[in-house]
């Protein structure tokens, strides 16, 4: 007798085990906290580095690099939270846990890469220069840009979704 490890595909959210679903409000709250705490830490680090002269005459370039890496995603999150703030059906909406976890980990990975980009510049062999740090930031866009697209897609779905559980 063969035992199948495959699970029968679910016809609806009601067919999934409870552990495979999370309330959308809960998911949005966790992702909002991750993004706002992470972005605030990165922002604070940039303020401290700027005040300490880390970027010298290139401070505006450094900030010009940072803002597009954080603000569009934070704007999406804030707009989604505001749009759904008075939604009477929000408590009945659920999300698959696997999609929440994917969105959480890709967001965390992205925020860590942004943070590392800011932190790694002083350890470069050519020394600490404002221009060198900004050049490293622009190089980091090679991997941050595509990753930001994935983050924006997953978060856009979670913060723009209005489908409710029957």
DSSP per-residue letters across 76-109: HHHHHHHHTTT-TTGGG-EEEHHHHHHHHHHHHH
Q: How many domains does the chain have?
A: 1
Q: Is residue 14 part of a domain?
A: no
What's the chain's Rg over C-alpha atoms? 20
Q: Is residue 128 part of a domain?
A: yes
Instruction: Give the model's pLDDT for residue 154.
Output: 92
pLDDT at 4: 46
Whether residue 11 lies inside any domain: the answer is no
| pLDDT in the model for residue 148 | 94
The 10s digit of each residue's pLDDT in 53-62 is: 888 899 999 9
- Which pTM does this prediction carry? 0.81
* Per-residue pLDDT tens over the stretch 28-80: 999 999 999 999 999 999 999 999 988 889 999 999 999 999 999 999 999 88
Asked if residue 12 is part of any domain, the answer here is no
Statement: residue 5 has pLDDT above 60 = no
């Amino acid at each position: 007798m063969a035992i199948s490890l495959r699970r029968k595909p679910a016809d609806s959210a009601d067919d999934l085990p409870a552990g495979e679903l999370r309330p959308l409000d809960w998911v949005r709250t966790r992702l909002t906290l991750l993004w706002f705490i992470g972005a605030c830490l990165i922002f604070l680090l940039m303020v401290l580095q700027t005040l300490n002269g880390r970027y010298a005459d290139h401070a505006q370039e450094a900030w010009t690099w940072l803002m597009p890496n954080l603000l569009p995603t934070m704007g999406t999150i804030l707009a989604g939270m505001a749009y759904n703030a008075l939604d009477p059906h929000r408590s009945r909406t659920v999300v698959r846990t696997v999609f929440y976890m994917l969105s959480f980990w890709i967001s965390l990975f992205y925020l860590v890469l942004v943070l590392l980009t800011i932190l790694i510049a002083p350890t470069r062999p050519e020394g600490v220069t404002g221009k060198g740090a900004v050049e490293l930031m622009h190089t980091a866009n090679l991997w941050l840009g595509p990753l930001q697209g994935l983050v924006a897609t997953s978060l856009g779905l979670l913060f723009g979704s209005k489908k409710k559980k029957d």
